[in-house]
Amino acid sequence: MNQAPVRQWHRISVNSAHHPRLLELGFLPLENVCVLQRSWFKTGALVVQVGDAVFGLRPDEASQIEVHAHTEMLGSLSAA
């Protein structure tokens, strides 16, 4: 998620890490997620929206969440 463009909706990958804290917060596979804002500092936090909730994530937490653009997800699902 660290590399996801700001203000674009993505889907959390099915293969994304399964950290218990992130799962409790709602970062579940195939959930919609959007990076709303990034810190000006390279090692700063990200403000993300998952579902209807907004969270601040540290970079190490965000790096555990693999995301795909909606169009990429649709293509991989139809190919399966």
Number of domains the chain is built from: 1
Residue numbers of the domain that contains 28: 9-69
3-state secondary structure of 46: strand
Any domain includes 57: yes
Any domain includes 74: no
pLDDT tens track for 27-64: 999 899 999 999 887 778 999 999 889 999 998 898 89
Q: CB–CB of 54/36 below 8 Å?
A: yes
Please give the helix or strand (H or E) that residue 72 lies within, else none. helix 70-79
Any domain includes 42: yes
Q: Which amino acid is at 19?
A: H
Any domain includes 53: yes
Any domain includes 2: no
Any domain includes 43: yes
Residue 57 structure tokens: 């994530």
Looking up residue 43, the CATH number of its domain turns out to be: 2.30.30.90
Any domain includes 29: yes
Residue among 79, 59, 63, 61 nearest 71 (CA): 79
Phi, psi of 62 (to 5 degrees): -65, -35
> If pLDDT is split at 50, 70 and 90, which confidence band does 5 have?
confident
Residue 64 structure tokens: 């555990």
Any domain includes 4: no
